[in-house]
């Protein structure tokens, strides 16, 4: 093998002799993949098809010692470093251009303790892995809505989904983690052990090291829930969105109803004439007493005159993967997101205007209903600060042809600007794109300076910087 060139932490290029690469490879139980190997290109691909990066090396880790070796190697070479779990983040932070990727995708075990109602989850596990194992015991923890999302990135950024109003965010159900910090040291971190680091990990992203396992609290959920979709024609948008907004202000916490403005996909329960037409879709899940589900959901069917609905009892894990076909990997994606304490009539008008200008059939504006249990946590109790968000909007531009890049991104950015006067000014780091590094400080708000101090303690050289980065506090401030 010839000498490799890699990107340093200083942004320079440096040479890596073949013998150094061979020595590193010999210390791994897993494989070290170089750009000359046949499976290099597939290993560089992530969920967002816009991401086209080429690392110098990919360390396919099989266990904790491989991770230690990879961190030590990157630190010794001052090599740019990234960590790949599910590879699902919109910004593509799993892949360090010209650097070393610590690939955890083979580490996917999930161990459930049904008596204690806990699960110990490896860092490469996907949400579908967790749901499959926990639902064998009728248990679950709050996760996202796409089964191919990695638990590590989801959790470290906060994590919300259908169970959040009843049981809190993913981080609110995190009991402990095992992790390896930038100095190669192992830590067990919880509210009782390294409490300040545990505080930072709950929302602070991958800024502090590599988490090697997560311990989650589980709740009785399912195995069947009442869930589904109610679809209204777009000419009823103002009526049904106002009704939805008013309903969600007082809906029971067992029920989550999200609004999606998009073109109707060819769903079998919709009349063919509706396919490809703009619609308002209400996606919902009720995870409370089944005897109350139909009663609690009934108002959603009365917002207007629906063109179709598919509601009923179904497996919880099945509904968790119901949107996977609309979120399959490989498409080009660009997001812009806002948090809202409430949705005024004018804000809803702006959202509807955005939907009237959709640049493609896969683009959408979705409004997730939050609040409930997550909002009862003090905003300084965890690094995640957006506890006042009753709604999160994601302007989701999604398309296939690179020739449409500018048009689709411009649409998303325009919608973001139009809605900004009505938003909190905060943000959800799991929805921030590569060009939104300037929003990181505002996303963490009052918690940002404290996060910088924790970063200074555990990663003073900012080895873990290929992320929505929190730079270390200056030494004099940290002291």
pLDDT in tens, 287-337: 999 999 999 999 999 999 999 999 999 999 999 999 999 999 999 999 999
Same domain, 93 and 141: no
Q: Contact at 8 Å (CB) between 57 and 32? A: yes
425 torsion bin: left (phi>0), alpha (psi -120 to 50), beta (else): left
In the structure, what pLDDT confidence band is assigned to residue 19 with cuts at 50, 70 and 90?
very high
Residue-number span of the structural domain to which 293 is assigned: 224-437
Q: At what angle are helices 18-26 and 64-77 packed, to 10 degrees?
A: 160
Same domain, 160 and 288: no
Residue 366 bridge partners (DSSP): 260, 394
Tell me whether residue 467 is in a domain: no
The closest of 96, 102, 101, 74 to 211, measured between CA atoms, is 102
Tell me whether residue 350 is in a domain: yes
**236-250 pLDDT per residue, tens:** 999 999 999 999 999
Q: What is the three-class DSSP state of 162?
A: coil
Say yes or no to pLDDT of 2 above 80. no
DSSP code at position 261: E
Cα–Cα dist 344/163, whole Å:
25
Cα–Cα dist 357/359, whole Å:
6
Cα–Cα dist 156/136, whole Å:
25
- What stretches of 202-289 show up as alpha helix (H) in DSSP? 237-248
DSSP code at position 105: T
Residue 478: per-residue pLDDT: 54
Say yes or no to pLDDT of 258 above 60. yes
Same domain, 24 and 127: no
Residue 1: per-residue pLDDT: 55
Cα–Cα dist 425/415, whole Å:
15
CATH assignment of the domain containing 290: 3.40.462.20
Give the strand pairing for 81-84 and 100-103.
Answer: parallel
Q: In 28-156, at which residue ranges do the beta strands (DSSP E only) sit?
A: 32-33, 57-60, 81-84, 100-103, 110-113, 118-121, 139-140
Say yes or no to pLDDT of 476 above 90. no
Domain termination site, one of 159, 188, 220: 220
Tell me whether residue 457 is in a domain: no
Domain termination site, one of 80, 103, 126: 103
Same domain, 330 and 213: no
Tell me whether residue 468 is in a domain: no
Q: Contact at 8 Å (CB) between 402 and 330? A: no
In the structure, what pLDDT confidence band is assigned to residue 475 with cuts at 50, 70 and 90?
confident
Same domain, 366 and 342: yes
Same domain, 141 and 54: no
**116-151 pLDDT per residue, tens:** 999 999 999 999 999 999 999 999 999 999 999 999
Tell me whether residue 450 is in a domain: no
Residue 61: per-residue pLDDT: 98
Tell me whether residue 474 is in a domain: no
Residue environment code for 312-321, b if the CB has 16+ CB neighbours within 10 A, otherwise e: eebebbbbbb
pTM of the model: 0.95
Q: Contact at 8 Å (CB) between 318 and 379? A: no
Same domain, 184 and 288: no
Q: What is the three-class DSSP state of 79?
A: strand
Q: What is the three-class DSSP state of 406?
A: helix
Same domain, 162 and 149: yes
Cα–Cα dist 1/121, whole Å:
37
Q: Contact at 8 Å (CB) between 287 and 254? A: yes
**What is the number of residues in the chain?**
479
Residue 479: per-residue pLDDT: 53
Cα–Cα dist 152/16, whole Å:
30
| Peptide bond just before 120 cis, omega within 30 deg | no
Same domain, 128 and 178: yes
- What stretches of 50-157 show up as alpha helix (H) in DSSP? 64-77, 127-135, 151-157
Domains held by the chain: number: 3
From the CA atom positions of the chain, what is the Rg in Å? 22
CATH assignment of the domain containing 192: 3.30.465.10
Same domain, 239 and 215: no
3-state SS record for 320-367: HCCCHHHHCCCCEEEEEEEEECCCCHHHHHHHHHHHCCCCCCCCEEEE
Residue 227 bridge partners (DSSP): 285, 312
Residue 458: per-residue pLDDT: 97
398 torsion bin: left (phi>0), alpha (psi -120 to 50), beta (else): beta
| Peptide bond just before 103 cis, omega within 30 deg | no
Q: Contact at 8 Å (CB) between 178 and 111? A: no
**37-86 pLDDT per residue, tens:** 999 999 999 999 999 999 999 999 999 999 999 999 999 999 999 999 99
Cα–Cα dist 419/455, whole Å:
33
Same domain, 169 and 244: no
377 torsion bin: left (phi>0), alpha (psi -120 to 50), beta (else): beta
End-to-end CA distance of the chain: 46
Same domain, 279 and 423: yes
Say yes or no to pLDDT of 13 above 70. yes
**162-221 pLDDT per residue, tens:** 999 999 999 999 999 999 999 999 999 999 999 999 999 999 999 999 999 999 999 999
């Amino acid at each position: 093998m010839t000498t490799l060139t890699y990107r340093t932490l200083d942004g320079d290029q440096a040479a890596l002799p073949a013998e150094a690469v061979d020595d590193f490879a010999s210390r791994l139980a897993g494989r070290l993949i170089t750009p000359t190997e046949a499976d290099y290109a597939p290993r560089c691909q992530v969920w967002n098809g816009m991401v086209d990066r080429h690392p110098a090396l990919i360390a396919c880790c099989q266990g904790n010692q491989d991770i230690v070796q990879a961190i030590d190697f990157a630190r010794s070479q001052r090599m740019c470093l990234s960590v790949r779990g599910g590879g699902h983040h919109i910004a593509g932070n799993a892949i360090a251009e010209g650097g070393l990727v610590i690939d955890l995708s083979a580490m996917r075990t999930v161990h459930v303790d049904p008596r204690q109602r806990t699960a110990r989850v490896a860092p490469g596990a996907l949400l579908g892995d967790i749901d499959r194992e926990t639902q064998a015991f009728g248990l679950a923890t709050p996760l996202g809505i796409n089964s191919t999302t990695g638990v590590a990135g989801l959790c470290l950024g906060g994590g919300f989904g259908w169970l959040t109003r009843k049981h809190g965010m993913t981080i609110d159900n995190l009991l402990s983690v095992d992790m390896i910090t930038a100095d190669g040291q192992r830590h067990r971190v919880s509210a009782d052990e390294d409490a300040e680091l545990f505080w930072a990990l709950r929302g602070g992203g991958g800024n502090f090291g590599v988490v090697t396992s997560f311990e989650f609290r589980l709740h009785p959920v399912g195995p069947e829930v009442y869930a589904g979709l109610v679809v209204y024609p777009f000419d009823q948008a103002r009526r049904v969105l106002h009704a939805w907004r008013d309903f969600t202000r007082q809906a029971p916490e067992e029920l989550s109803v999200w609004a999606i403005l998009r073109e109707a996909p060819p769903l079998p329960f919709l009349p063919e004439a509706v396919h490809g037409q703009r619609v308002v879709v209400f996606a919902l899940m009720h995870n409370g007493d089944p005897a109350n589900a139909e009663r609690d959901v009934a108002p959603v069917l009365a917002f207007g005159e629906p063109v179709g609905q598919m509601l009923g009892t179904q497996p919880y894990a099945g509904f968790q993967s119901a949107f996977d076909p609309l979120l399959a990997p490989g498409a080009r994606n660009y997001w812009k997101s806002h948090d809202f304490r409430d949705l005024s009539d004018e804000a809803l008008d702006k959202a509807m205007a955005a939907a009237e200008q959709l640049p493609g059939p896969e683009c959408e504006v979705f409004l997730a209903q939050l609040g409930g249990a997550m909002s009862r946590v003090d905003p300084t109790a965890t690094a995640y600060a957006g506890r006042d968000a009753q709604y999160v909007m994601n302007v989701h531009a999604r398309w296939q042809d690179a020739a449409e890049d500018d048009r689709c991104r411009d649409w998303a950015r325009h919608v973001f600007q139009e809605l900004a006067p009505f938003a909190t000014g905060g943000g959800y780091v799991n929805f921030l794109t590569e060009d939104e590094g300037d929003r990181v400080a505002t996303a963490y708000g009052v918690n940002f300076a404290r996060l910088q101090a924790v970063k200074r303690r555990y990663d003073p050289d900012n080895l873990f910087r290929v992320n929505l980065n929190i730079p270390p506090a200056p030494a004099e401030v940290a002291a």
